[in-house]
């Protein structure tokens, strides 16, 4: 009996160790407080910050991939949140850029028609679908928490934003 319990606890601990943490993909330099006029302006500003950080081998290609993805279907998932994303072979690792629109929300053609004020721009290599899906899953879990969304909108610093994701 004890052996079975120990084996179960070991499996649980291994799963916990393997849980992807959103904070591992965040960087204080990639938390941007926006005052954009449109969806495309917001995306451009976020891509500019990414480019400054050295994470993009080709800024124009990434920006075009993001806009092309938006043409397929809006990444405005509701609750004032958008998850624009692109995977490209030239990208070596995943990253998440957080944009918080401090002024009015942006028309993103979201599924609930609500204006977007929180943007999680995701990029990464096109050959790591499993990791990509895990990132989306963890972000979605965090976003569903209304308190986290409220705290994101009230945040005054990038470190405050990142701290909110340390448990996710």
At 116, is the secondary structure helix, strand, or coil?
strand
The answer, yes or no, to whether residue 153 has pLDDT greater than 80, is: yes
Q: For the whole model, what pTM was predicted?
A: 0.87
CA distance 62 to 47: 8
Positions of E strands within the chain: 31-34, 76-78, 81-82, 85-87, 95-101, 118-124
**Segment 50-89, tens digit of pLDDT:** 999 999 999 999 999 999 999 999 999 999 999 999 999 9
Asked if 91 contacts 57 with a C-beta cutoff of 8 angstroms, the reply is: yes
CA distance 107 to 93: 30
Q: The tokens of 143 are what?
A: 């976003």
């Amino acid at each position: 009996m004890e052996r079975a319990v120990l084996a179960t606890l070991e499996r649980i601990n291994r799963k916990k160790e393997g849980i992807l943490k959103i904070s591992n993909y965040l960087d204080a330099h990639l938390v941007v407080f926006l005052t954009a006029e449109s969806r495309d302006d917001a995306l451009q500003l976020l891509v500019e910050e990414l480019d400054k950080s050295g994470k993009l081998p080709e800024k124009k290609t990434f920006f075009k991939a993001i806009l092309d993805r938006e043409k397929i279907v809006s990444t405005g998932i509701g609750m004032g949140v958008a998850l624009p994303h692109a995977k490209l072979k030239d990208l070596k690792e995943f990253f998440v850029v957080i944009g918080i629109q401090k002024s009015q929300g942006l028309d993103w053609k979201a599924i609930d028609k609500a204006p977007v004020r929180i943007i999680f721009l995701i990029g990464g290599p096109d050959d790591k679908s499993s990791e990509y899906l895990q990132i989306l899953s963890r972000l979605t879990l965090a976003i569903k928490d209304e308190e986290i969304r409220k705290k994101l909108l009230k945040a005054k610093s990038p470190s405050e934003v990142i701290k909110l994701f340390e448990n996710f």
